[in-house]
Amino acid sequence: MKLVKTKELPEVGVSHNAEIKKKVYIERGEIPQLMMFGSAVFKPGQKVELHKHDTMFEVFQIVNGKAQFIVNNKTIILSEGDCITIEPGELHAQSNPFKVDVHWNYFGIATD
- Alpha-carbon distance 41 to 6, whole Å? 13
For 105, phi then psi, to 5°, come to -100, 145
Determine what percent of the chain falls in helix, strand and coil, rounding each to the nearest 5: 5, 60, 40
pTM for the structure as a whole: 0.89
Can you give the pLDDT at residue 105?
A: 97
Q: How many domains, in total, are found in the chain?
A: 1
DSSP state of 7: G
Going by DSSP bridges, is the β-strand pair 34-42/92-95 parallel, antiparallel, or unpaired? unpaired
Q: Is 103 inside any structural domain? A: yes
Q: Is 22 inside any structural domain? A: yes
Q: Is 57 inside any structural domain? A: yes
Q: Is 33 inside any structural domain? A: yes
User: For residue range 61-110, what is the model confidence (pLDDT) as tens digits?
Assistant: 999 999 999 999 999 999 999 999 999 999 999 999 999 999 999 999 99
User: For residue range 28-59, what is the model confidence (pLDDT) as tens digits?
Assistant: 999 999 999 999 999 999 999 999 999 999 99
Q: Is 1 inside any structural domain? A: no
Q: Look up the domain containing 11 and give its range.
A: 6-110
Q: For position 47, which CATH number holds? A: 2.60.120.10
DSSP state of 5: -
